[in-house]
């Protein structure tokens, strides 16, 4: 179908010239997916500790499918964060235990998941063969029957918005708000390197369809709790500069959420403070849990640092500038191991940048 929105064509010669569609190939694949799923019950599955792009993708996709007459639920291992609940009105969000108790079979569509394990081991076992995955992570190699992947997109919501417009699918005000929130959060309020002209074109069209930027900004960024600020205070006090001033790492010890009156969702955005320091190229947050689990969020100022490759050394993944990892039994010297991995990555990038070096920028080890 022809699109009602004219997307931009990337290219230095004429960057403003429009073409017929935002995502021609992905839109064709999605149209075939809709046909294959006609009449089936569907579960839209998001990753653990969901963020704005995850919840926004789930809400918008579920609403579009529901408008086509599908029976749709959204499923997550963790609850919808407080600041994102304004997006989920009139939506059915279930937790892992809910769907494990329910024998009803549904076709699963995974959204914003770099790999199948991101939903949690129990949900992975519940939905072992996803019908589709829609995602923008660079490390996603495809794990579903239909894989709608575009690592050049800043957000999964960017992909969905473009595909919906390409196919003239109904995008109501609530869907538009969800998609806008996903793009807003995953572009860092339109600041990150992944932000493209297409992001702005899509965001503008979403506003036309009913998205409210002022409401999104208030709900997402103007409702911090006292506990979150106490957690931030601790994180800032823990920051250490490594690798000659080019890396900054902050840590959160076991029990910190109880001590500060905060919750795991309050870690969202903390790592950006580590990256924001002048001269720092890579920021990291290391979170230790009482059960021995270690989680880490990695952020880089430039895509050449490929923090997804650093995360991959610890069975993690993500984007070139934003990645994460989760170790069930994190070693005691994990901090040192991570700093060593950063040092190796910096050395590779530096070597590749030397004039005439001809050294490929690839993972160390």
Q: 43-101, pLDDT tens digit by residue? A: 999 999 999 999 999 999 999 999 999 999 999 999 999 999 999 999 999 999 999 99
Band of pLDDT at residue 343, cut at 50, 70 and 90? very high
Mean pLDDT of 239-250: 98
Domain 24-221 has CATH 1.10.760.10: no
Sketch the domain layout of the chain as residue ranges.
Answer: 24-221, 226-353
Distance separating alpha carbons of residues 29 and 135, to the nearest angstrom: 14
Query: What percent of the chain shows pLDDT beyond 70?
Result: 92
Cα 263 from Cα 174, distance rounded (Å): 27
Q: Concatenated DSSP letters for 20-55? A: S-SSHHHHHHHHHHHHHHTT--EEEE--SS--HHHH
Residue pair 178/59 in contact (Cβ under 8 Å)? The answer is yes
Alpha-carbon distance 13 to 314, whole Å? 41
Angle between the N-to-C axes of helices 156-166 and 173-186, in degrees from 0 to 180, rounded to the nearest 10: 140
CA-to-CA dists, residue 275 to 15, 294, 304, 305, angstroms: 31, 20, 15, 13
**Across 23-51, average pLDDT:** 96
Dist CA 250 CA 273 (whole Å):
9
Angle, CA of 70, 186 and 313, to the nearest 5°:
100
Beta strands in 141-215 (DSSP E): 146-149
What does the pLDDT average to over 190-201?
94
Whether 39 and 157 have beta carbons less than 8 Å apart is answered as no
Model confidence, pTM: 0.87
Contacts (Cβ under 8 Å, ≥6 apart) of 269: none
The predicted structure's pLDDT at residue 73: 97
At 103 the pLDDT is 87
The domain made up of 226-353 has a fold known as Diaminopimelate Epimerase; Chain A, domain 1 (3.10.310)
User: What value does the mean pLDDT take over residues 336-347?
Assistant: 98
User: What is the CB-side half-sphere exposure of residue 102 using CA atoms within 13 A?
Assistant: 15
């Amino acid at each position: 179908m022809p699109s009602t929105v004219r997307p931009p064509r990337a290219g230095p010669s004429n960057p403003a010239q429009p073409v017929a569609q935002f995502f021609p190939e992905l839109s064709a694949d999605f149209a075939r997916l809709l046909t294959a799923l006609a009449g089936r019950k569907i579960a839209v599955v998001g990753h653990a500790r969901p963020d704005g792009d995850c919840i926004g993708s789930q809400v918008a996709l579920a609403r579009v499918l529901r408008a086509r007459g599908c029976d749709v639920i959204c499923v997550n291992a963790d609850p919808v964060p407080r600041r994102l609940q304004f997006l989920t009105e009139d939506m059915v969000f279930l937790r892992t235990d809910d769907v494990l108790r329910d024998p009803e079979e549904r076709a699963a569509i995974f959204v914003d998941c770099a790999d199948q394990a991101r939903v949690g081991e129990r949900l992975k076992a519940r939905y072992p063969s996803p019908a589709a995955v829609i995602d923008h992570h660079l490390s996603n190699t495809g794990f579903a029957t239909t894989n709608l992947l575009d690592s050049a997109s800043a957000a999964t919501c960017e992909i969905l918005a473009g595909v919906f417009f390409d196919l003239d699918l109904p995008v109501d005000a609530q869907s538009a708000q969800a998609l806008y929130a996903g793009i807003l959060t995953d572009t860092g309020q339109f600041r990150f390197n992944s932000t493209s002209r297409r992001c702005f074109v899509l965001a503008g069209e979403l506003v036309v369809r009913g998205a409210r930027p002022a409401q999104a900004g208030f709900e997402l960024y103007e409702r911090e709790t006292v506990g979150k600020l106490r957690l931030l205070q601790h994180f800032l006090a823990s920051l250490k500069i490594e690798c000659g001033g080019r890396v900054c790492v902050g840590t959160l010890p076991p029990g910190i959420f109880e001590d500060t009156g905060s919750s795991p969702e309050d870690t969202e955005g903390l790592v950006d403070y580590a990256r924001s320091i002048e001269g720092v190229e890579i920021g990291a947050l290391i979170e230790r849990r009482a059960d021995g689990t270690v989680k880490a969020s990695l952020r880089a100022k430039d895509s050449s640092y490929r923090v997804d490759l650093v995360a991959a050394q610890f069975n993690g993944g993500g984007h070139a500038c934003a990645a994460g990892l989760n170790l069930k039994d994190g070693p005691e010297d994990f901090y040192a191991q991570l700093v060593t991995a950063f040092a190796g990555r910096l050395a590779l990038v530096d070597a590749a940048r030397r004039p005439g070096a001809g050294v490929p920028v690839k993972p160390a080890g």
